[in-house]
Amino acid sequence: GAVVSQHPSRVICKSGTSVKIECRSLDFQATTMFWYRQFPKQSLMLMATSNEGSKATYEQGVEKDKFLINHASLTLSTLTVTSAHPEDSSFYICSASALDGQPQHFGDGTRLSIL
Amino acid sequence: QKEVEQDPGPLSVPEGAIVSLNCTYSNSAFQYFMWYRQYSRKGPELLMYTYSSGNKEDGRFTAQVDKSSKYISLFIRDSQPSDSATYLCAMSRSGGYQKVTFGTGTKLQVIP
């Protein structure tokens, strides 16, 4: 149980393109999902907390207009990287918890490369 | 000072060895403690989840939490080459809906 699916797994696109990443909870409903960014050989950095039906909560230093988050249903959250540039290239990972008090389960991540 | 400190390794051991991975933390409000395993280019996979102090065992894995020392450990018995991965400790003040703070991860290599 508690499977989180992320799509796509790999994106390569030109600078200036907007890229949408989907995160789905497959066998449970997730009121809250989390979006992380991971640089090579570094740990996960929380970008934002995605709340179903309301605005996301962004961590300090994360541009909300750059990283748009939509959590329109209890099983889907999307992260859109708008007007992506090479410095946005990274590994983006989402997570969700089936119940409060239960640990977060992670998707397999999306490797984004901006040329 | 980081909230969670973890030796980045790399740690290289022979197959069959007992592996000890550790993290220290500074925030006494942390009550939930997790260990995740991450293979290259994959998302973290939950291995162990404990609440407060004590030990928890699951197969070859044992997690220990000592809140008085602000120290957590993961032991892997009879290590296998398939255990080669990066191990991340993580902790939070409360469960799933709350922000989780991760260690930097320890890279483990088990040599056949």
Give pLDDT, residue A32.
Answer: 87
pLDDT digits (tens, 9 = 90+) for A48-69: 999 888 889 999 999 999 999 9
Find how far residue B13's CA is from the centre of its chain.
17
Let me know: does B89 contact B23? Beta carbons within 8 Å: yes
Q: What is the pLDDT averaged over residues A62-89?
A: 94
> Mean pLDDT, to the nearest integer, of A67-86?
94
- pLDDT, residue A1, reads 63
Q: What is the pLDDT of residues B28-84, one digit of tens each?
A: 999 999 999 999 889 999 999 998 888 999 999 999 999 999 999 999 999 999 999
Q: Count A/B contacts: CB-CB distance under 8 Å.
A: 62
Search chain B and give the residue with CA nearest A47. Answer: B99
Q: Shortest Cα distance from B49 to chain A (angstroms)? A: 7
A-chain CB neighbours of B103 within 8 Å are: 43
* Chain-centroid distance, C-alpha A49: 9
pLDDT digits (tens, 9 = 90+) for B1-24: 789 999 888 999 999 999 999 999
Q: Taking a contact as any Cβ pair under 8 Å apart, which residues of chain A between 71 and 90 contact chain B? A: none
Q: Contact B76/B18 with Cβ under 8 angstroms?
A: yes
Residue predicted with more confidence, A73 or A1? A73
| Record: contact B46-A105, CB cut-off 8 A | yes
Measured CA to CA, the distance from residue A104 to residue A14 in angstroms comes to 33
Give pLDDT, residue B96.
60
Contacts of B97 in chain A (CB under 8 A): 31-32, 97, 100
Question: pLDDT tens for residues A23-39?
Answer: 999 988 888 899 999 98
Q: Which of B97, B104, B105 sits opposite A32 (nearest CB)?
A: B97
d(CA A106, CA A33): 10
Q: Return the percent helix, strand and coil in chain B, to nearest 5.
A: 5, 55, 45
The closest alpha carbon to A93, from A75, A105, A108, belongs to A108
